[in-house]
Amino acid sequence: MLLVNTIRENFELVLEGLQKRNLANAEATLHEVLELDKKRKETQTERDSLQAESNAISKQIGLLMREGKKEEAEHIKTRTGEIKEQIKVLEESYNTYEADLRQLLYTLPNVPHHSVPKGKSADDNEIVLTHGEIPELPASKKPHWELIKDYDIIDFDLGVKITGAGFPVYKGRGARLQRALINFFLDEALKAGYMEVQPPILVNEDSGYGTGQLPDKEGQMYEATMDKLYLIPTAEVPITNIYRDVILDERAFPIKNVGYTPCFRREAGSWGAHVRGLNRLHQFDKVEIVQIVHPDNSYEALEEMSAYVQSLLQKLELPYRVLRLCGGDMGFTSALTYDMEVFSAAQERWLEVSSVSNFENYQANRLKLRYKGEDKKTQLAHTLNGSALALPRIVASILENNQTEDGIRMPQVLVPYLGFEWI
């Protein structure tokens, strides 16, 4: 959530950033924020002034009573009653302004970093680098949705029977490949200094608001309505919320957590070549990395996280590219996002497999996630997260890019986890 002081003191820069996101009525909304804040502060000042007058009158009444001037004391008591009614009205107004201001701030996305390119869609994203050679496949190459049937390793029809579209059943070596990737990603993260956590996969409303999924993505999450809980769209939500309403010691930075969870999203969309098979699911597995850092170091941490995710792709022998997302394609809460895309040689297209984002203090302001340094001042921390990695499209790319006439070769780094080299 944007800070009102930031909007007030850097109005033109904030407006320029929100316009880079193609946000409609950005200027009018920012002015409305400042007007609500002005009314809130004026109400608070008036309330405080009346409270001070009430306190002064109470002291005067006590003095008069001690002096035996009871009739005079009773006379000025009527003013305290008037003040109480006025304060009650002002408090109601203050609470209304406060709630309206918060709801309006919830509608404003994060301000993009100055390096974020302008643009309206994925077509305007900037290619930062490309790595690896695209494999040459046999003429008989197949997309993964055909390969999984040939080798009987993932069954979408069973998933439809049990649950519905977008909930596949992994079988045999397909299930072992899932487990191998999860363990490989977790082990690599531990080597990189991340502490593993196993969080809940259901979160409450406060957690959803804390990391920005609510109210922005409310319709995209599965909800347990009776308990007002939400199935997580990513482990970012519960892991980052570990630090909600926490004041950290500056010496604890950087805080690095990693967690594996299933993830649930209602946004799978219609059937088509771009969403077939594993390309987009309602339920999928993902290993997530999260960092809480000092504001001075968050962009250094972002580059470190990007390099780490790239190292995983290199060890899996997958060709990939890194994109810097444009203003129109960024997530609501992000200040800067790198997407990693793997080239799927059978589909002949790039598949997004990871996003690594710096949220600066946007999430921290919602979470009330702060830290104290040597000067004992309390300040907002910076939060970052990244997919390291999401499994479905990694599995699709491994199956497609490594297919041969004799079967599907597994990446060498996974063999110790799998116990086999071929499917």
**Is 8 flagged in the annotation as binding?**
no
* Domains defined along the chain, listed by start: 4-106 (1.10.287.40), 122-418 (3.30.930.10)
Residue 422 has pLDDT above 80, yes or no: yes
Q: Is the distance from CB of 273 to CB of 168 less than 8 angstroms?
A: no
Residue 48 has pLDDT above 60, yes or no: yes
DSSP string, 189-233: HHHTTPEE----SEE-HHHHHHHT-TTTTGGGS-EETTTTEEE-S
Q: What are the backbone dihedrals phi and psi of residue 271, each rounded to the nearest 5 degrees, phi first?
A: -75, 140
Dump pLDDT digits (tens) for 330-344: 999 999 999 999 999
CA distances from 358 to 113, 116, 159, 218, 355 (A): 9, 12, 35, 22, 10
Q: What are the backbone dihedrals phi and psi of residue 259, each rounded to the nearest 5 degrees, phi first?
A: -150, 145
The count of residues in the chain is 423
Q: Is the distance from CB of 181 to CB of 286 less than 8 angstroms?
A: no
**Is 267 flagged in the annotation as binding?**
yes
Chain centroid, CA 103 distance in Å: 18
Residue 273 has pLDDT above 70, yes or no: no
The label of the residue with tokens 């009527």 reads: 78
Residue 257 has pLDDT above 50, yes or no: yes
Overall average pLDDT of the 226-249 stretch: 97
Confidence of residue 68 (pLDDT cuts 50, 70, 90): confident
**Is 352 flagged in the annotation as binding?**
yes
What lies within 8 Å, CB to CB, of 58 at 6+ separation is 80
**Strand blocks (E) in 255-334:** 255-264, 283-293, 320-324
**Is 74 flagged in the annotation as binding?**
no
Overall average pLDDT of the 202-229 stretch: 93
**Is 115 flagged in the annotation as binding?**
no
Q: Which comes out higher in pLDDT, residue 40 or 375?
A: 40
Residue 155 has pLDDT above 70, yes or no: yes
What lies within 8 Å, CB to CB, of 404 at 6+ separation is 138
**Is 402 flagged in the annotation as binding?**
no
Overall average pLDDT of the 83-88 stretch: 92
Confidence of residue 268 (pLDDT cuts 50, 70, 90): very low
Overall average pLDDT of the 8-20 stretch: 97
- Element at 56 (helix H, strand E): helix 26-66
DSSP string, 317-385: T--EEEEEPPTTTS-TT-SEEEEEEEEETTTTEEEEEEEEEE-TTHHHHHHT-EEE-TT--EEE-EEEE
The conformation of residue 46, written as its DSSP 8-state character, comes to H
Per-residue tokens: 240: 């980052």
Residue 270 has pLDDT above 50, yes or no: no
Among 210, 181, 230, which residue's Cα sits nearest to residue 398?
A: 181
Dump pLDDT digits (tens) for 381-390: 999 999 999 9
Mean pLDDT of the chain: 95
Residue 272 has pLDDT above 60, yes or no: no
Burial of 11 (0-12, 13-18, 19+ CB in 10 A): middle
pLDDT of amino acid 274: 64
The label of the residue with tokens 């999450």 reads: 221
Residue 17 has pLDDT above 70, yes or no: yes
d(CA 212, CA 209): 5
pLDDT of amino acid 60: 86
Overall average pLDDT of the 229-248 stretch: 98
Pick from 69-78, 164-173, 313-322, 368-377: least confident = 69-78
pLDDT of amino acid 65: 80
Residue 408 has pLDDT above 50, yes or no: yes
pTM of the predicted model as reported, rounded to 2 decimal places? 0.92
The label of the residue with tokens 């599965």 reads: 222
CA distances from 1 to 97, 138, 187, 364 (A): 17, 51, 34, 8
**Is 266 flagged in the annotation as binding?**
yes
Among 344, 332, 264, which residue's Cα sits nearest to residue 112?
A: 332
